[in-house]
Structures are given as C-alpha cells and as structure tokens.
Amino acid sequence: MKQVNHTVQSKNLTEPAPINHSASSSGTLLYRVIEGSVTTPQGFQAGGLHCGLKKATRNDIGAIVCDVPAVAAAVYTTNSFQAAPLDVTRASLAEEGLLRAVIVNSGNANACTGKQGEADAYRMRSAFAEQLGVPAHHVAVASTGVIGQLLKMDCVEQGIAELPGNLQSGANGAEQFSQAILTTDLVKKEVCTVVRVNGLDVHIGGSAKGSGMIHPNMATMLGFVTTDAEIDGRALERLLKQVTDATFNMITVDGDTSTNDMLVAMASGAAGNEQLDEQHPDWNAFAAAFQHVCEHLAKSIARDGEGATKLIEVRVTGATSEDDARAIAKTVVGSSLVKSAVFGADANWGRVIAAVGYSGIKVNPETVDIDLGAIAVLRQSTPVLFDEDAALVYLKGDTVVFTIDLHMGDGEATAWGCDLTYDYVRINAAYRT
C-alpha cells in the first residue's frame, strides 16, 4: 500500500451453503442496512490519532477493541513478500482464535524490513496489550503505507500510549479509526447491517481502506468486520473465506497485489443469541448480511481507485462453472484497455470480447452476448446496431455495467473495478515524495 499526502474529500463514485440474498420464503427481508460501522455491534470501541508517521496531521494510528475476548478469523494477501504484521496476526490467532484488539498504523507498511521489522511488529502487539492489560496474543497488528522503511517506533509507541484514552463506542470512535487507516483513499469506507437471530437484533459492521495496489487474492487492502453475534469460530472462518472469494477477491484497480493486506473478523457474542453455525436456522440470514457488508466495502474500494472517476461492474452469466465466470469477470474488469475506454466514454465493446477471449477460460466464440447497461451491443457473437449517443450518455455516468452471457451453463459471477485515468499515473509517479 502507498501513501500520498492529500486531503480527504468527497468522491462520486464443511463448506457453508450458498448464500441467499433474496427475501425469505415468507417474503420478509433477511437483513437491513443501517447507519453505522465497526463500533455499532455491542462490545466494540474504536479510535485513532496522529502519532507522526505521516507528514500531514492526519490520523495514522488506530485501534478496534472488544470488551471481551472475541471469536476471530482472518484472511491474508497471497503476495510472496508478506509484511511482518501478517505474521504477528497469524501467531496471535494460532493461540486460541480469540482477539481483544487490533492495532493499525498507516503511512508505513513495515514490509520488507527484515528482522527489525518483525521485532517492531511484535513490539506494537506487546505495547498495546500492556496498555489494555490483556495477553499479547489477544492483539492483532496491521500496517499500510510505504514498503521498505522501518517504523518510527518512538512515534508508534507514543501513539499506542495515547490510544486507550481515545477509544469510544460511538460514531466518533469509528470515524477516528476510519481516518487512521487511510493512505491514498479519498473517502472512508464503512457500512453496517442488522439481522434477526433467535428473535434478537444482531449487528455486523465493517470498515476498510484501499485505493491503489488493488488486485486481491486475498484482498489487497485492510478490512475489519465486527459483529455482536455469538458464532462458532470455525464457522466464522469458513464464512469469511467464502465471502472473501465472492467480494474482496472480485475487485481490481491496477493489477498489483500488495504485501500487507488482510481482512479480520471479530465476534463479541454480546447479542446473546444461540451460537451460530451452518446448522442454525438463521444462518442464511446472518451469512447474507455478512456478505453485504463485505461486498459494500469491496465495491467502495473499487469505486475509490486511485484517480478513478467511475465504478465498473462486470457481470458474467452462462459460464460452465462459477470459477470460470469469476476468472472471466476479473479479466475483463482488469483490462487496461477496457478501463481506458470507460474513462474516455468510448463504447468499444471489442475490448470486452477480446478480454473474454484471452481470459484462459474456454468459451464458445459463437454464442456470446454483451450488454452495455441496458444497451445490447453483441448477440450470439454478432454485432448489434445501437444508439452511439445513448451509449455516450450512459458511459458518462459514475457506474458502468457490462453484462456478458456465454450461453454455456449456469455459472455466474460479478467483478468490480474502476476506470484508468491520467491521475492514476500522477499519483503513483510521486507517492513517495
């Protein structure tokens, strides 16, 4: 992950069963989206402050803290060069699968920093644990920022000493935390859902950062999901992996997979429901609400891609399998030529069909349909005359959807990305300076 000093501003922009997003058989909604973030679920506080890792006086260290040991799970980047905080978090979760807190800094990735970087990450863990009076292995660590620079540990330790006094359970705590994890992001990313479990309200909140170096496998970003549900730890881990594959692993900004990033989920159990797992009668509703949180955060990252002006959504249907549909969707949304055409509001569907063809997935070259929004541009691999002016108007909107029907099977998937603009080059040509 990278840091650019600029002002945050608004921007338009056993395996679990398959998750059902529709209403239940009785017609009632499975969950509701409400205003909130990681502090909305019962039992959580958060906060952030400026400790001096960034030149600008923006928050650069933050934390989420649970009142009790929370059932926890995490997924991590697949980059071969993994930053020290990932190893520390793995070690923490390996002890009991429980967390009381996660401590996060921005402005410095603590990646490719050798033995000293590893020692610094463990020092972050132990220092915050000491402040909270909890075992060291109940603290996770995350970092994001410039690669290859040692942390200014005097600044970090001063920030850690001050953080407990900045923790709050309300919206301001979530706001300060969200600001603390941003790097090149222009907007914060947060969301909350509420779902009924055993007749009780269960909340799921999320906060994430990510704008550049986004090509997840796992997700190249930092993401944090909290819930007050009582849930089996192994079921949470399975759900997190399943949902990650359908959300964070389906976004791309620039094709670069980061060294640092991870998604951490924590469950306080404060809602008082009977323990959730895949056999619980309300599991499907909880899983759908959990997936909504992750999908919202993932799409927010894609929409806030460095220099981006548009969100691109690619829907693939009719594939021979879900895996094939995912591979094609990610290939199309990651195409530099497709991204450039969207930026220029050019209805050049030829770039879309070319990306389908080089995706590595076998397709029937005579049965492909492509729609640009509601405008048909290709039917059975044959061009369709369409209104260029209408296409231009559509492409000038802030969301562009390509629908690709392969007519080969039942596999389907959706991927998200953004356009490729002049500003992306400007931001990344000078992010260290």
User: In the structure, what pLDDT confidence band is assigned to residue 387 with cuts at 50, 70 and 90?
Assistant: very high
Percent of the chain exceeding pLDDT 70 equals 86
Residue 251: the pLDDT is 84
Residue 347: the pLDDT is 96
Residue 4: the pLDDT is 30
Annotated active-site residue in 193, 220, 247, 252: 220
Nearest CA among 106, 261, 83 for reference residue 185: 106
Higher-confidence residue: 220 or 384? Answer: 384
Q: Is the pLDDT of residue 22 over 60?
A: no
Question: Exposure pattern of 348-386 as b/e (b: 16+ CB <10 Å)?
Answer: bbebbbbbbeebebebeeeebbbbbbebebbeeeeeeeb
387 φ, ψ to 5°? -80, 105
Peptide bond into 218 cis (omega under 30): yes
Q: Is the pLDDT of residue 6 over 80?
A: no
The domains found in the chain, sorted by start residue, are 32-303 (3.60.70.12), 311-429 (3.10.20.340)
Q: Is the pLDDT of residue 381 over 60?
A: yes
Residue 62: the pLDDT is 96
3-state secondary structure of 317: strand
CB atoms within 10 A of CB 39: 29
Which pLDDT tens digit goes with each residue over 257-286? Answer: 556 778 999 999 999 999 999 999 999 999
> Which residues contact residue 138 at a Cβ distance below 8 angstroms, ignoring those fewer than 6 apart?
69, 92, 96, 98, 99, 100, 101, 129
From start to end of 288-387, where are the E strands?
Answer: 311-319, 369-372, 375-379, 382-383
Instruction: Return the C-alpha torsion angle 105, 106, 107, 110, nearest 10.
Output: 60
DSSP codes joined into one string, 186-238: SS-EEEEEEEEETTEEEEEEEEEE-SSS---SS-SSEEEEEE---B-HHHHHH
Residue 73 token pair: 């799970």
Average pLDDT over residues 396-407: 96
Question: Exposure pattern of 104-143 as b/e (b: 16+ CB <10 Å)?
Answer: bbbbbbbbebeeebbebbbbbbebbbebbebebbbbbbbb
Strands 262-267 and 222-227: parallel
Residue 80: the pLDDT is 76
Q: Identify whether 220 is a catalytic site residue.
A: yes
User: In the structure, what pLDDT confidence band is assigned to residue 249 with cuts at 50, 70 and 90?
Assistant: confident
Which pLDDT tens digit goes with each residue over 187-233? Answer: 778 999 999 999 999 999 999 886 555 444 433 478 999 999 999 99
Residue 258: the pLDDT is 59
Question: The pTM is what?
Answer: 0.82
- How far is it, in rounded angstroms, from Cα 220 to Cα 391? 32
- How far is it, in rounded angstroms, from Cα 283 to Cα 386? 45
- How far is it, in rounded angstroms, from Cα 338 to Cα 246? 22
Polymer length of the chain: 433
> Which residues contact residue 429 at a Cβ distance below 8 angstroms, ignoring those fewer than 6 apart?
none
Average pLDDT over residues 356-382: 96
Question: Exposure pattern of 235-262 as b/e (b: 16+ CB <10 Å)?
Answer: bbbbbbbbbbbbbbbbbbbbeebbbbbb
Which pLDDT tens digit goes with each residue over 312-365? Answer: 999 999 999 999 999 999 999 989 999 999 999 999 999 999 999 999 999 999
Q: Is the pLDDT of residue 24 over 70?
A: no
- How far is it, in rounded angstroms, from Cα 86 to Cα 171? 28
Average pLDDT over residues 292-296: 94
DSSP 249: G
Q: Taking all residues of the chain, what is their mean pLDDT, rounded to a whole number?
A: 87
User: In the structure, what pLDDT confidence band is assigned to residue 56 with cuts at 50, 70 and 90?
Assistant: confident
Residue 211: the pLDDT is 55
Q: How far apart are the first and last CA of the chain?
A: 15
Q: Is the pLDDT of residue 7 over 50?
A: no
Average pLDDT over residues 10-31: 48
Higher-confidence residue: 4 or 126? Answer: 126
Residue 164: the pLDDT is 96
User: In the structure, what pLDDT confidence band is assigned to residue 253 with cuts at 50, 70 and 90?
Assistant: low
Average pLDDT over residues 29-35: 91
